[in-house]
Homo-oligomer: A and B are copies of this chain.
């Protein structure tokens, strides 16, 4: 029943060979890999304004524009840095790989942990912001925003469990529509203002200034704006998805992406400045601007809807990114290996589910509020930027290939600037939530080391050398100790007995008596039936079957030759309806899991199928 529901939701199981999908050219690669970066302009500008306007009032617009320019300059630097990463890592150069290759395990894991946190936050933030776009258009839905966000999350999760690759070109369309609508919005907005002198009233009152601009405040605004840069590294991670020449195509997409973010981010910031949009909970800044520019007509709704869609698509890129990252780390043994296994539909389903659950928790805890989530965001991305740039810098320094100095300079500069940005974000947003990230990253790294340590120990303990030979001498003795656990003398026991008899001549039945009367009855029945093997009965005062059984096994164990395994036979009812399980006690299960802890015990389970 469960598997039918699963098939309905996520589709039929796929063959491993079906993995090779279609590759992307520049035209489709751009929208698909850029949705994260492009969509972040939907909240980054608003966030800058949110930081400033409460303190310096009307002056906020001026400094918002400056902060946006700083963010965009940083973007240009990142593009040049990442072009070099694309050249050096043709199979995809995620920060985890670059840092691990060039800086060592701990920096690699730090990058991995940072990215993990940021992918989860990408989903939570993007979906919350997408919900905000919807509730801006339909204010009556505002009170249901957590439910809406969770529903969207569920939809993306199911889509990704199905494996969304097939339809991914379709995903490019809304991104292009969004980009186009933004261009139309910016151009129309500027023309109406400067050519036609259109200056509408602000929709919401601008708060009065309560203080003056300070360096700290400006830096905080800049740090908030840096969320616009998340998703830039998606392109360098995604190289294998490009058509050949894939590196060249990736670099072209990266340049176009930067141009788009530049234009839209600066353009929207400028519009906020001239139209005096004010960050309020019920209506996003973009919604305010588009209402002022277009009125509440068709274009207003197009912009809200495409904003929502592109934000959901941005969440979708995290669904591609995190499971892949976890599968790489799983192969290296730093996270549970299950993350490296492909599910029924070839997606890394465990990673997808982890991501969905973590994002859902964040959405519920932060009540789907973008403002509360953003201070946690971007820290992780910039840590991974820094580690990746430092790694690249060292790579050039070590390789000393022609032109290495120039390349090392670019990555070195990138490293320094992104490192400074980490510090800035860390300090300015520390008490707003960034402290949490600084606690969680080291914890994650610690656990990853522990996991690796465990896997190493397992490998050590199970490694087989050629001089450890099978015990062929035992092959024919046919006298293995076999103990059948006897509860009631019934057909299920008979089946176990037949099975045991076929494996050994040395079979005994063992009964633990917890009730004198039952045992007497069993004894009589046993005598009458006479199954031809000895019956051993032990009394247990504490109604505990396990203790006497283990004592008995140990006495048998001592009697047997060293190193031989005692086989314990358990009958198990197999029931066709799942709910019937609650009608049978699960003692067998507990007995087994305790028996496994004994080095020289093997457990033979003989199923007995109960019909209906």
Contacts and interface: CB of A to CB of B under 8 A. Distances in A.
Interface of A: 13-17, 336-338, 341-342, 344, 451, 454-455, 457-458, 461-464, 466, 468, 470-472, 474-478, 480, 488-495, 497-499, 501-505, 514-515, 528-529, 531-532, 541-544, 564-565, 567, 572-574, 580, 582-585, 592, 595-599, 601-612
Contacts of A499: 565, 567, 602
Contacts of A572: 596
Given A474-B498, A573-B458, A601-B607, A451 B543 contact: no
Nearest to A593: B574
A503 B592 CA distance: 20
A499 B482 CA distance: 12
B336 A582 contact: yes
A485 B7 CA distance: 28
Contacts of A488: 462
Given A461-B611, A474-B501, A580-B454, A16 B543 contact: yes
Contacts of A466: 528-529
Contacts of A603: 604-605, 607
Contacts of A544: 13
B498 A583 contact: no
A607 B611 contact: no
The 8 closest A-B pairs by CB, nearest first: A596-B607, A462-B490, A15-B541, A474-B502, A503-B503, A471-B498, A602-B606, A604-B604
A13 B528 CA distance: 36
Contact of A461 (B475, B515, B610): B610
Contacts of A601: 607
27 contacts: A13-B542, A16-B541, A17-B541, A344-B542, A451-B583, A454-B583, A455-B583, A461-B611, A462-B488, A464-B529, A470-B501, A470-B531, A470-B532, A474-B501, A476-B505, A480-B502, A480-B503, A502-B564, A503-B503, A574-B596, A574-B597, A596-B605, A597-B609, A599-B609, A602-B604, A602-B605, A604-B604
A540 to B, nearest CB: 9
A554 B502 CA distance: 19
Contacts of A471: 498, 501-502
Given A501-B475, A605-B596, A494 B480 contact: no
A269 B532 CA distance: 75
A13 to B, nearest CB: 5
A595 to B, nearest CB: 8
Given A17-B541, A605-B596, A494 B478 contact: no
Nearest to A573: B458
Given A474-B501, A499-B565, A528-B466, A16 B514 contact: yes
